[in-house]
Structure 1
Amino acid sequence: MTEKIKDIVTQIDREIRKEKSFDFHVISYDGCRLTIAGSTDLTYYHKLEIIFDDVFFVSGVFGGWHSDTERVVFSLPDNEKDLNQKFEIEQGYELFIFKADDYKNDFIIAAKTLSFNTDTVFYYDRRDLKENERIS
């Protein structure tokens, strides 16, 4: 695992934990790229997109989940070797974990790379968009 990936994971978790709570849902998956959106209000917009590329494995609910930001929400697993063996993850993939309050199990993703953006993406037509705002 590279320092770059560790830094990105830390930045994403910091962004999430700026809020009192955060909700997530999968907005797209094309067999290779998985995009998860997060916000305090997924009814009208999201303000965080986490993009996983070259996805090998996903274990979680695509419909959505809630996370308490009092503790770490997005992280790299401490037991990576055990999870790699349990889920038969091929070498070269990184494991990422979302803590979900509404489910017993964590949302686990194995992918080669990840990125994120903090654009506000509205789910309705809106005029006069500002910088870093767009329509879904």
Structure 2
Amino acid sequence: MKEDVIAVINKRVKEFIFLDASIYKYHDDGLTLALSEDFTYFHNFEIRFRNVFTVISNTSWSLETKNDFIRILENSEESCHLNLKYGVVIGNSIFQLSTDEDKVFYIIAEDIELIDNVVRYYS
């Protein structure tokens, strides 16, 4: 269930003092965000969105790790506005992502998954 994945992601983010997010891959209908303490050498885990409909985001940003990083917008004025503006297809969810500068980004997609593996850039 998406809400369970969101809860695990937020819990995982809060384990860090400092964390950055970056678009890692965007291919066909899949978008992968990498989250890392140090993108020079590795990233700590990934968030994958499936059947992506719309992306309203910077390519990278820093997170405020004390707060929830991601949530699903449902039945709010903001979700209605985004639905009307982007013509969101039924079956998609609006994922709201927060930054350390109180900015918000949106990924509208069918599903979300956490890949909790470290990816090293050097062997």
Q: TM-score, normalised by structure 1?
A: 0.81
Count of paired positions: 120
Q: Please identify runs of 4+ aligned residues in structure 1 that moved more than 6 A.
A: none
Partner residue, 2:67: 71
Deviation at 1:88, TM superposition (A): 2.1
Unaligned runs of 5+ in 1: 126-136
Flag the structure with more relative contact order, 1 or 2, with Cα contacts below 8 A and sequence separation at least 6.
2
**Structure 1 residues 33-76: Cα deviation after superposition (integer angstroms, max 9, x where no partner):** 000000111111011110101000000012x1001112111111
Identical amino acids, percent of aligned pairs:
27
For residues 59-115 of structure 1, what are the alpha-carbon distances to aligned partners after superposition, in whole Å with 9 as ceiling and x for unaligned? Answer: 0012x100111211111125323322233211110111110224x641210111111
* TM-score, normalised by the number of residues in structure 2: 0.89
Tell me the C-alpha RMSD between the 2 structures.
Answer: 1.5
Is 1:96 aligned to residue 91 of structure 2?
no
Q: Which residue of 1 aligns with 2:52?
A: 55
Larger Rg: 1
Correspondent of 1:10 among 7, 10, 27: 7
The 1-side partners of 2:18 and 2:82 are apart by 27
Q: Which runs of 5+ in 2 are unaligned?
A: none
